[in-house]
Structure 1
């Protein structure tokens, strides 16, 4: 969808992925936050029916471009044209593909500054010449600086968590008894997310059911493992879901034993939606969770510890309530939408303002 090009939108966001993942979901979350804050924006994205519809519902001028590097001779040109027509002052590029195709301002166009938004340890060559990089964890920021970027051009702005509307899911609609402990695993079906560890832990939790929300290349492997472990009758593979808030609200506990996780947005979302969380000590969750205060941390690949901590939380309602209350406080003070949008405004001002 393309809205009238005369509309002035000082912020242009570029998203070159057509996948469903955490960065793509947060791209939409930030677009919504900017819209609620009155920040005028436009978007250049790769084809994705759901994102096109959601951006259209927000009345955000949107253009679908190929983003098909390396033999893509039109995307950079069209981004520059769009930036000029909309009087963009900053372009925020999400991940490597978009960054590599987001052009620098030239003498032919009104000037704009380029911001690279990094949610992982991306290939920094794609961001050469950018005016600023934003890492959503302090560890990513520190890594970028160690790689040679000037400290003054690297900024820490974490993800926000917003308690989105959504009701409780009737468990029976997903073939789950109403009165059993319900565990939730969120994330791509990939070895980095360690759903296999959760399945092994479930073997030691005979009364619990597990919902796994996500898609990915390991689906067949994980389903086979569930059969081999004898837990397949208590596991529901839900695929990619657009109702994450309802999933969080319905679950009794979130299990997040990722082996590699730069941020751990699932942790922040669990806090925002009032469900206790147990995570492995990968970089992001290890930095976020205060062990024993707002969640539990376990060693990576430790299914026994995951099962033990799960049993403890399911049995101790007072401890579970403490985790929920402390997590909600963390969101309010550190990860609220208003606080994060304010940090983006400061960055825009640093680059010359909108």
Structure 2
């Protein structure tokens, strides 16, 4: 199978990070000849090279992009002659050149399906997203639900210095963009009620100064460490006693899957994705969105009850292993791709 995956984005957000994880996983499969098409971006290129992923780049910059971007995109598709193309995020799906390959759009959010007119099939990662695309006119027979995997490939990790943690402190880990949807303010507001704990926040975004001011106003600034963009997520999970995921809006929640994969207790707000994934008191703890007191209470429960923490991690890892591991999810991708390619050949 000749597989091309296309990502036309400079972002380092969740969809782009998961794109790299899928590409690294498929690069290990000898039955697949894979090539990526990505925009020039040195940090992403370095990670993909370390993972043994074959890729081509599209020119960026004020001069090169207007002149050569679209031409290069068409050229890469024509020269590789893929059997199937996966387009990630809206832009790649809109700009995918005309091709004889099967085109599969991958959605991880509630996007406008008008962006996916060039696609023959869609992959979404939650049942609610199946409902979203079908209710907006996409044929139910042309959408597949394949969720994400929680593994953290070592080849995509880039080590950074770890923060110093005060003696006797527990470590709370929060991951995600510093954006209103991610609700980092909830866990910062809860921190005064969680004694002897240091909060690590990994992510960048427009709310950084506002969140730092909030921590200062609550007298917890010395207990909150803003780490910026990190690519050593596995190391951060190893350091954490609890992962806190307070998002107000979350279609899936890769952080939940990663916590399960790393045997880290997860406490999450009951937004759509985490509420679908987590069975409260079994493989994680849930609290109502924006409920600061409940957030603090559930975190304190885990920190004070070793038996509960062990139960959550054991059940979470079992759920990950059975349903959200790299092997399980990649096999689903492969089976779907093979079926779609076969069906197209039979129609030809």
- TM-score over 0.5 for the pair: yes
Name the residue aligned to 1:133: 122
Q: Of 21, 24, 30, which residue of structure 1 is paired with 2:22?
A: 30
Aligned to 2:170: 181
CA distance in 1, matches of 2:319, 2:74: 40
The aligned residue for residue 158 of structure 2 is none
From 81, 85, 88, the counterpart of 2:82: 88
**In 2, are the aligned partners of 1:160 and 1:336 still within 8 Å (CA)?**
yes
Cα offset, 1:181, TM superposition: 1.1
| Cross-structure match for 2:203 | 214
Matches within 5 A, 1:27-176: 27-38=19-30, 39-66=32-59, 74-105=68-99, 111-162=100-151, 164-165=153-154, 173-176=162-165
Range moving further from structure 2, 59-68 or 156-165 = 59-68
- Partners in 2 of 1:193 and 1:272 — Cα distance? 21
> Any residues of structure 2 matched to 1:205-284 within 5 Å, and which?
205-284=194-273
C-alpha displacement of 1:229: 0.9
Cα-to-partner distance string for 1:167-209 (whole Å, 9 max, x where unaligned): xxxxx95132143111010000001000000100101113111
When structure 1 is superposed on structure 2, of 146-155 and 78-87 the one drifting more is 78-87
Q: Say which structure is richer in helix.
A: 2
SS in structure 1 of the partner of residue 341 of structure 2? coil
Matches of 2:66 and 2:152 in 1, distance apart? 39
The CA distance in 1 between the partners of 2:52 and 2:284, in whole Å, is 39
Shift of 1:99: 1.3
Q: Hey, what does 1:16 align to over in structure 2?
A: 8
How far apart are the structure 1 equivalents of 2:70 and 2:98? Answer: 9
In structure 2, the gaps of 5 or more residues are 156-160
**Structure 1 residue matching 2:193: 3-state secondary structure:** coil
Shift of residue 65, structure 1, vs aligned partner? 1.4
Following superposition, the deviation at residue 74 of structure 1 comes to 4.5
Across the aligned residues of Structure 1 and Structure 2, the Cα RMSD in angstroms comes to 2.1
